[in-house]
Structure 1
Amino acid sequence: PAVNGGPREIPVGAAGPGQAVTALEKATAGTQWEITRYQDARALTEAVEDREIVGGVLVTPAGVTLYQATAAGPQATAALTAMATAVAERQHAELTVEDLAPFPEDDPRGAGFSAAALPMVFGGIIPAIALARLFPGRTGPRLAGGLLFSLTAGFAVTAVLQFGTGSLSGDYWATALGLSLGIAALAFTLLGLEALFGLPGFGIGAALMMLLANPLSGFATGPHWLPGGWSDLGQILPPGASGSLLRANAFFDGTGATGPALVLAGWAVLGAALLLTGGRLRGRREDGAEPAAS
């Protein structure tokens, strides 16, 4: 992703006189932008705040205004700013920029948000390792331990990012619960794979989460900056869904949180089902071995 990433069908909006918007569409024709027309500035800003688009350009006789949402993806915002600057230059007009969803003042580049990816991934792997070794073959303690650790880690990491570094600005409780759900989705999935397939299952699952799902999560860039197709895969894996849920809760008042929350809930339920199935199979094998031994 670092080598092949770039703008890919970034959804943006445009409003203004018909000729100006048509000229903008022709100038940005290609695979980088996906432009939608809006009637006026109000419709344009509402679309940005509702996360329908990452930004929009308003062309008026008084000048060109760019409405952006840096928290939706700083790379996409930078590319959009460059595009709007070029439009303003062609119009011989002044460019005005309004950021409708910025990162907090204490962390204007979103460094803390981007750095949350690894703690979240390790937060799912570490408890799975510990619980698998502490409670071998015991389904109940693993489920309870995974839930307790996920809640503790989710609330602790959110507290550090929001109150310690000032990297998040949303409702603390909603953000913490969302991050806890992401950690639980990872932990339960890995616990389930270990219960069903043993150490090889856990190893393959952990490797996929670290080496595939984490780079495709779009934590730092947003999904629209990833290579085509891979971004869609990344958003249905726990790290990508966790990043989208954290972004929605921390910067957009929960707008767009339903989809990733359902993805994470699905992974958590799948992991719990695998864990229960593995426990039952192990119990049957042990029951079958006892009479044979006697």
Structure 2
Amino acid sequence: MVEPPTPGGQPPGSPPASPPAARFRGEVRGAITPRAGLIMLGVLILELAFVVSYIGAFHSPTPDKIPVAVVAPAAEQRAVIEKLNSIPGEPLKGQPADTAAQARAMVLEREVDAALLVAPQEGGDRLLVASAGGPSGVQALELVFQKADPSRPVQVTDLRPPNEADGRGLASFYLAVGLVVGGYLASAAASASYGARPANPHRMLIRLGALAVLSVLSGLGGAIIVDLVFDALPGHFVAIWWIGALTTFAAAAAGMAFQVLLGPIGIALSVLIFVVFGNPSAGGVYPAALLPPFWRDLGPALPNGASVALIRNYTYFGGHHTATAWWVLSAWAVGGVLVSALAATFRRRPKAADGTMAPAAPGGTGAAA
């Protein structure tokens, strides 16, 4: 005797069909694993952090205590400095200079961003600037002086404009950004072979050696592009080459350290530090004096900002005012190497069946190789 079909149309003896909602949930679980969901959530957080950081840094550039040397007759100098420092919002920070020659040297050696030469007998003052350090900063300075005393004209003299092929003086910024991005992407590429955590210190040193070689080539390529190809930053080929090599290696070594400590999450941390925070705080589109306090203070401590300062100051200002930037890049490079080496040496190895520490695997895939 043949059994009639069930009310739902299923053959007799077959399990009942799942409700549509249950089938949809099953498809979702099959398409997006919990791990993939967490990664997507992390990407969303990085995306929003990127938007917040860039808009926060650039939405309202405002001069804040821009250092200005003041040369004036002895009877007037203190009053002029106090007047500059009392402008609403404190956009300027005046400091005395004895002579015009001293003030000029202070501008070109990056001790100050501008110098005001007060000449009461001539009925007009001179403002010495160096727009190669950031044209946007010079424009902001001109606007501040125009608003401070419209009745007293200020003649602007640009002591060091950008090279003609450097446009708005941004070649150093874009070069530094490219070098930093290349560094942390190289460390991520190295981890793609056998995982983020090498199995032993020897393999960690081999990876770091490979990153060092790539960094030298990266600096060489960057110098060729900005000097020989586009003529944007000519005349300082060797200096730019080695600044570029150190910049790339600092980002690569730090990226490797993040990955050794945190695994794949270390790549996201590299993006957060070098892209989300590093690029807008590097003093490219707007110099540091126009950025809000958080980005202005953070920039010099990151490889991006240190690299921009080195490239720009060696290209236009004879390498003055670069000691801090050298220390910052060196600290990131050396710190990355030390953290990676120590983590690879002391990383806990899996226990064997007898409770002893098992030897590191000679190869293979996964997190250790």
TM-score by length of 2: 0.72
Describe the superposition over 1:59-107 as per-residue Cα deviations: whole angstroms up to 9, x where unpaired.
212332221011222221112223445678523x5x4432222211222
Please list, as runs of the form range in 1=range in 2, the aligned pairs for 1:15-34 lying within 5 A after superposition.
15-17=71-73, 18-19=75-76, 22-23=79-80, 25-26=82-83, 29-30=86-87, 31-34=90-93
Partner of 1:90: 151
Partner of 2:221: 156
Describe the superposition over 1:229-251 as per-residue Cα deviations: whole angstroms up to 9, x where unpaired.
43111210111111111222121
The correspondence for 1:11, drawn from 67, 88, 96, is 67
Q: Does 1:131 align with 2:190?
A: yes
Please list, as runs of the form range in 1=range in 2, the aligned pairs for 1:1-294 lying within 5 A after superposition.
1-17=57-73, 18-19=75-76, 22-23=79-80, 25-26=82-83, 29-30=86-87, 31-60=90-119, 61-62=121-122, 63-85=124-146, 89-91=150-152, 95-134=154-193, 136=195, 137=198, 138-169=203-234, 171-282=236-347, 284-285=349-350, 288-290=357-359
- On the 8 A contact 1:14/1:21 being kept in 2, the answer is no
Percent identity between the two aligned chains: 26
| Structure 2 unmatched runs, 5+ | 1-56, 361-369
SS in 1 for 2:284: coil
CA RMSD of aligned residues (A): 2.4
Cα distance in 2 for partners of 1:15, 1:126 equals 49
Describe the superposition over 1:25-70 as per-residue Cα deviations: whole angstroms up to 9, x where unpaired.
4255242110112122111101111211011111212332221011
- On the 8 A contact 1:15/1:21 being kept in 2, the answer is no
Describe the superposition over 1:110-137 as per-residue Cα deviations: whole angstroms up to 9, x where unpaired.
2433322431231112211122223651
Partner of 2:54: none
Q: Sort the Cα spacing of 1:237 and 1:27 in 2 relative to 1 into closer, same or farther, 3 A.
A: closer
Look up the equivalent residue of 1:29 and give its one-letter code.
S
- On the 8 A contact 1:57/1:65 being kept in 2, the answer is yes
SS in 1 for 2:166: coil
Structure whose CA Rg is larger = 2
SS in 2 for 1:113: helix
Instruction: Name the stretch that deviates more: 9-18 or 110-119.
Output: 110-119
Q: Sort the Cα spacing of 1:27 and 1:118 in 2 relative to 1 into closer, same or farther, 3 A.
A: closer
SS in 2 for 1:35: strand
Higher helix share: 1
Cα distance in 2 for partners of 1:101, 1:176 equals 23
- On the 8 A contact 1:213/1:238 being kept in 2, the answer is yes
Cα distance in 2 for partners of 1:28, 1:232 equals 21
Look up the equivalent residue of 2:317 and give its one-letter code.
F
Q: Sort the Cα spacing of 1:215 and 1:168 in 2 relative to 1 into closer, same or farther, 3 A.
A: same
Look up the equivalent residue of 2:115 and give its one-letter code.
G
Aligned residues: 289
Look up the equivalent residue of 2:295 and give its one-letter code.
W
Cα distance in 2 for partners of 1:202, 1:128 equals 9
- Tell me by how many angstroms 1:195 deviates: 1.6
- On the 8 A contact 1:15/1:39 being kept in 2, the answer is yes
Cα distance in 2 for partners of 1:235, 1:265 equals 13
SS in 1 for 2:163: coil
TM-score by length of 1: 0.89
| Structure 1 unmatched runs, 5+ | none
Look up the equivalent residue of 1:11 and give its one-letter code.
P
